[in-house]
Structure 1
Amino acid sequence: MKKRQIIKSRKLWIIFTFLTFSVMSVSVMVTSFCLLVAFERGLLSPRFGISAFAPFSVTSIAVATVLSMFVSRAMLYPVRDFSDAAKRISKGDFSKKLNENNLIEEIASASKNFNLMMTELEKLEGFRSEFAASVSHEFKTPLGKIKGYAELLREGDLSLEEKENCINQIVSGVDKLNAMSEKMLSLARFENQQIVLNKSKFSLDEQLRQCFLLFETRWSEKEIEPSFELEEFDYFGDSNLLSHIWTNIFDNAIKFTPNGGNINIELKKEKRYAVVTVFNSGEGIKEKDISHIFEKFYQVDRSRNDRGSGLGLSLVKRIVELCGGEISVKSELGRGTEFKVYLPLSEI
């Protein structure tokens, strides 16, 4: 296979050299003919004689041959470089970069774009590997939990209360796996989606209330005091997409709010945006964690028993971006955390 490729490369070089040589030879012959005509018409001095044409022609052809070899090599080098880089890509090697300093503008531009593509592919491959490793790691914990409690049940030497606890723990592990799978599928779907299609007019303030009420059991158990400052107005967008934003932010806020804490939800118009602010009292987030909080599988506190999948806020950020909005977070240790979502107000 390699020998065949070398033969093809040499064949291409020979053809290119022959074409270059042919063009230069024709040029020499035309020049010689012009000189001959000039001699015959007395435009050049006779002392240059016809005998001067022979060495002139031979020298010109020799120079043309050498130049054509160098030119053909220089012209074909980028082609060979492209071919070599493409072969490396097919084997998963993205380290090869093309020389962008070419005198031919089109080749330099193509090389630059090719290098950009290689860089993006390298990032994508890195993300794929990291994603696969993260998924494997995150699934191991609930699967190990399910297996452990299932083995305890199989032993059979348990009281009724212990059996009930094992079953509850298994159900909890399955629920976590199910939630993680759903979020992963949603994230994959939204990352491939580029536009929002199912837009309609709906009450944004009412949607916020209803989404928060979905968690009533949880925030009631923790005796959390919710407060609402919601400006009443209709929003034109995809209500299903936006509900994913609110449920994930509320879930996160309730999880990190201590017993007897408070959660404040605010909605108002600011210029061309609908601005939703969600504040929860609590420990807050460390500065080093804030810059990573929207990354996939990132966990602020891995020691918690009720820690999530680390996908919720990644999902939120992607949906907000899909809707043409922005999301920000600020936190103060010992006081709490505030998420702010900016959604553009569309003309209906």
Structure 2
Amino acid sequence: MKTKLYSKLWIYFVTLIFVSLVLLSILFGGLLVFLMRKEIIKPGPDNHLIIISIFTLFSIITGTGVAGLVGRRILAPIRELSANMNQVAKGDFSLRVNEKQPIQEVQQLFDHFNTMVVELDSMETLRNDFVASVSHEFKTPLATIQGYVQLLQTSDLTPQEIADYQRRILEGAEQLATLTNNILRLTKLESATTPLAKTRFRLDEQIREVLLFLRPQWEPKNIQWELTLPRKEFYGNEELLYQVWLNLIDNSIKYSQQDAVVAITLTSSTEYLEICFQDWGMGIPEKEQKRVFDKFYQGDTSRKSAGNGLGLSLVREIVDAHEGAVSVTSSQTAGTRFFVRLPLG
């Protein structure tokens, strides 16, 4: 691989040195003949020192010219790249360099520099969007808590109003806690450098445990569950996968109507397990389905009170960490289906 990458640059230097030596010999021979014809120097043992001095001077002049050519062709673009890298280090990601260079290796270097700057610019944009989104998501529940705390300071409140305000303050605090926990989990997953801690556990039992945990949310809606959960064991991170089912089932509950039906189906093959979560609630528009796993993305503004846009991002990160895949199909008339595929082995 090294030979392939550096061969053209090596050939360039060898050719440059060879041509320089040939040119130096020809020019020096021609100069020597010219000086002899003009009888400036004459053949003889006493003229060796003069010939050597002329050759040395001529070599210095020619070598300086060759060094200048090499500097112009190779070192000048590298100096330009160095200056641009210094600007990038200061946070300027708008720089681009001309990728059309006479030497392929230098051209590749410039091309990689442009690719790097584009990626850094994209990461900086994502970082700014993430900070803005986090700030916005924290601001909403904090404003809610602050508003109801101020209302509680009034003296003419009925017991029912006091209880209602306290309930809303608690909901705001729970929303903040959920947001904080999801951000911490996402950060931990994205920065993880060690393999997940895995154990073997009953996947079907875990999904049933999540249903029982969320019972206070789905019972008031009188949601009916169609469960196809045969006994299946899986080797993975039990705590993280619990968060996957928690977020997906919670979504199904939030967007289902009163007396709705939600189906959970677990199937398997020799290579993978697949869990499908099917609800018949409000669907996701086709143009938004590709972005439902993006951080803080909530296409339908009417749903913003139902979550903070991190649940499905967390689902994707956890499933990816298990080398699996998560996908969604949806229509506004037939509901939504989330598929989680986890490899066995």
When normalised by structure 1's length, the TM-score is: 0.81
Bigger drift between 50-59 and 189-198 goes to 50-59
Matched, 1:233 2:232: yes
Structure-2 residue corresponding to 1:3: none
2:92 partner amino acid: D
Unaligned runs of 5+ in 2: 1-15, 43-50
The alpha-carbon distance between structure 1 residues 90 and 305, as it changes in their structure 2 partners (threshold 3 A), is: closer
Contact 1:199 1:239 in 2 (8 A): yes
Q: After the TM superposition, which residues 113-124 of structure 1 pair with which residues of structure 2 at under 5 Å, given as runs?
A: 113-124=112-123
Distance in 2 (CA, whole Å) between partners of 1:262 and 1:230 is 16
Distance in 1 (CA, whole Å) between partners of 2:171 and 2:181 is 15
The alpha-carbon distance between structure 1 residues 73 and 265, as it changes in their structure 2 partners (threshold 3 A), is: same
Structure-2 residue corresponding to 1:171: 170
How many angstroms does 1:58 deviate by? 7.9
SS of aligned partner of 1:155 = coil
Structure-1 residue corresponding to 2:84: 85
Distance in 2 (CA, whole Å) between partners of 1:345 and 1:187 is 24
Structure-2 residue corresponding to 1:251: 250
SS of aligned partner of 2:153 = helix
Contact 1:28 1:61 in 2 (8 A): no
Contact 1:194 1:322 in 2 (8 A): no
Deviation track 1:180-228 (CA, whole Å, cap 9, x = no partner) reads: 1111111111111255431121111111211222111211111000011
Which 4+ runs in 1 deviate beyond 4 A? 23-27, 33-36, 46-67
Structure-2 residue corresponding to 1:8: none
Contact 1:248 1:312 in 2 (8 A): yes
How many angstroms does 1:29 deviate by? 7.4
Percent identity over the alignment is: 37
Q: After the TM superposition, which residues 252-291 of structure 1 pair with which residues of structure 2 at under 5 Å, given as runs?
A: 252-291=251-290
Bigger drift between 51-60 and 279-288 goes to 51-60
Distance in 2 (CA, whole Å) between partners of 1:305 and 1:25 is 75
How many angstroms does 1:295 deviate by? 1.0
The alpha-carbon distance between structure 1 residues 265 and 48, as it changes in their structure 2 partners (threshold 3 A), is: farther
How many angstroms does 1:286 deviate by? 1.2
1:221 partner amino acid: P
Distance in 2 (CA, whole Å) between partners of 1:292 and 1:25 is 63
How many angstroms does 1:230 deviate by? 1.7
The alpha-carbon distance between structure 1 residues 100 and 271, as it changes in their structure 2 partners (threshold 3 A), is: farther
Contact 2:20 2:66 in 1 (8 A): no
Structure-1 residue corresponding to 2:221: 222
Structure-2 residue corresponding to 1:148: 147
Equivalent pairs counted in the alignment come to: 318
1:280 partner amino acid: D
Unaligned runs of 5+ in 1: 1-19, 40-45
Distance in 1 (CA, whole Å) between partners of 2:314 and 2:294 is 9
Contact 2:28 2:58 in 1 (8 A): no
Structure-2 residue corresponding to 1:132: 131
How many angstroms does 1:48 deviate by? 9.2
Q: After the TM superposition, which residues 1-348 of structure 1 pair with which residues of structure 2 at under 5 Å, given as runs?
A: 28=24, 32=28, 65-66=64-65, 68-193=67-192, 196-304=195-303, 306-346=305-345
How many angstroms does 1:338 deviate by? 0.3
The alpha-carbon distance between structure 1 residues 306 and 47, as it changes in their structure 2 partners (threshold 3 A), is: closer
Distance in 2 (CA, whole Å) between partners of 1:279 and 1:300 is 20
SS of aligned partner of 1:266 = strand
Distance in 1 (CA, whole Å) between partners of 2:194 and 2:242 is 17
The alpha-carbon distance between structure 1 residues 224 and 48, as it changes in their structure 2 partners (threshold 3 A), is: farther
Distance in 2 (CA, whole Å) between partners of 1:265 and 1:291 is 22
When normalised by structure 2's length, the TM-score is: 0.82
SS of aligned partner of 2:277 = strand
Distance in 1 (CA, whole Å) between partners of 2:26 and 2:304 is 88
Distance in 2 (CA, whole Å) between partners of 1:228 and 1:159 is 45
